[in-house]
């Protein structure tokens, strides 16, 4: 679906292997698995008692459509168990939602969100205070970032320099405990730039050294932790991608997994950074196979592959989120190109 385009662009896949909605569905499974693992204290507490299967609760937002490509997608869950995401209605218009731990679902729309097919509002990240960031498409198919308070006040924002053409504009990707947001924007030349937005609304753009300046090249901020450290990826002038970590003072360090490919649409991407500064993500090797990795704060990179992951082109393992305990979740494609969620514990 056209509306899911921004979600697909979050991952440097080069050649999409599934629809944007498919990726979101996998992300939902991964989130459930990650929070089902629990913290070490919880694991110790359960020692000596019978193991229980994780509980899964499905839900649909009121007003969600039931046709192909419609329905409800969760994007983020905070420590209190509140969830944000979006749903497509019967007219293929998306609406953001927040779901409390007790199951109460409230939908919301950014004031200037478009009401046409594949337009509307997407909630993408929720912090411990219940503040949400995400993006919406207006009536001209231009995306804009937004921040929504726990009480429901929605404020839109655009990064300075963001383009105003179709599918240019600004996307909010991650919000931390302090209300600081990271994401990216496409300028009028369709070049990507990362940004960080303070709680008071000051937006600072940034570009990783070595980022390309051509169409569909540039820098994407993807995850921000409580200390304000950001990870993401950038495309260079040869369309290879590289991971980066940005300190809260603006120092950017790029990194590549040892076995990452160097060809077009090959390379390394950082997708999540935890409170300790440990990063997870994935890399694409010279044979176009994916592998997960974990990078310590000091820069040591260890790759991993989920058991059962395929070894053919565009198969393999992708890490997407890491929690404070170091548990990693993501998904892998098997030899039949079927995707599966996973949890990797330290």
The whole domain housing 84 covers 64-168
Which of 140, 168, 196 is the C-terminal boundary of a domain? 168
d(CA 318, CA 309): 10
- pLDDT 10s digits, 221-274: 999 999 999 999 999 999 999 999 999 999 999 999 999 999 999 999 999 999
- 217 and 316, same domain (yes or no): yes
Q: Are 343 and 306 in contact (CB under 8 A)?
A: no
The model's confidence at residue 86, banded by pLDDT at 50, 70 and 90, is very high
What average pLDDT does the segment 1-5 reach? 38
Residue where one domain finishes, among candidates 143, 168, 193: 168
- Give me the number of domains the chain comprises: 2
The helix (H) or strand (E) run that includes residue 89 is: none
Residue 178 lies inside a defined structural domain of this protein: no
The arithmetic mean of pLDDT across residues 165-191, rounded, is: 97
The two three-digit tokens of residue 182, written as one number: 């990271």
Cα diameter, the chain: 60
Contact assessment for residue 196 and residue 202, using Cβ atoms and an 8 Å cutoff: no
Q: For residues 4 and 119, state if they share a domain.
A: no
95 is a domain residue: yes
DSSP character for 163?
-
First to last CA, the chain: 37
> Is 252 found in the same domain as 303?
yes
Both 316 and 211 in a single domain? yes
List all residues 6 or more positions away from 68 whose beta carbon is below 8 Å from its beta carbon.
none
Report the C-alpha gap between 123 and 147 in whole angstroms: 9
pLDDT (mean) for 171-189: 97
Instruction: Identify the pLDDT of residue 77.
Output: 85
- Do both 259 and 297 map to the same domain? yes
**What is the arithmetic mean of pLDDT over 1-11?**
39
The pLDDT > 70 percentage for the chain reads 84
Does residue 24 register a pLDDT over 70? no
Task: State pLDDT tens for residues 194-206.
Answer: 999 999 999 999 9
In a domain, 180, yes or no: no
pLDDT reported for residue 32 = 43
């Amino acid at each position: 679906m056209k509306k899911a385009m921004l979600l697909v662009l979050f991952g440097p896949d080069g050649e999409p292997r599934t629809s944007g909605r498919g990726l979101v569905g996998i992300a939902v499974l991964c989130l459930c698995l990650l929070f089902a693992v629990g913290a070490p204290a919880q694991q110790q507490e359960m020692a000596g008692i019978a193991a229980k299967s994780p509980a899964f609760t499905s839900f649909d937002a009121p007003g969600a459509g039931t046709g192909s490509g419609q329905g409800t997608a969760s994007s983020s869950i905070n420590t209190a168990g509140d969830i944000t995401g979006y749903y497509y209605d019967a007219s293929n218009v998306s609406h953001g939602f927040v779901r409390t731990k007790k199951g109460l679902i409230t939908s919301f729309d950014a004031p200037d969100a478009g009401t046409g097919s594949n337009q509307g509002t997407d909630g993408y990240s929720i912090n411990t205070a219940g503040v949400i960031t995400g993006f919406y498409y207006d009536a001209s198919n231009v995306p804009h970032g937004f921040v929504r308070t726990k009480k429901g006040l929605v404020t839109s924002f655009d990064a300075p320099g963001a383009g105003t053409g179709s599918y240019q504009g600004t996307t909010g990707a991650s919000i931390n405990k302090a209300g600081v947001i990271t994401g990216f924007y496409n300028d009028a030349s369709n070049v990507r730039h990362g940004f960080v937005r303070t709680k008071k609304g000051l937006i600072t753009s940034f570009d990783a050294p070595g980022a390309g300046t051509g169409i569909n090249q540039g820098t994407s901020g993807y995850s921000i932790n409580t200390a304000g450290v950001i990870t993401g990826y950038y495309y260079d002038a040869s369309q290879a991608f590289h991971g980066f970590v940005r300190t809260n003072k603006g120092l950017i360090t790029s990194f590549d997994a040892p076995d990452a490919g160097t060809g077009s649409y090959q390379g390394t991407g950082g997708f999540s950074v935890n409170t300790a500064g440990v990063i997870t993500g994935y890399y694409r090797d010279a044979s176009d196979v994916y592998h997960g990795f974990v990078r310590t704060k000091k820069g040591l990179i260890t790759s991993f592959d989920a058991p059962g992951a395929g070894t053919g082109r565009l198969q393999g393992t992708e890490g997407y989120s890491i929690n404070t305990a170091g548990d990693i979740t993501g998904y892998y494609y098997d030899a039949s190109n079927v995707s599966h969620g996973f949890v990797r514990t330290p």
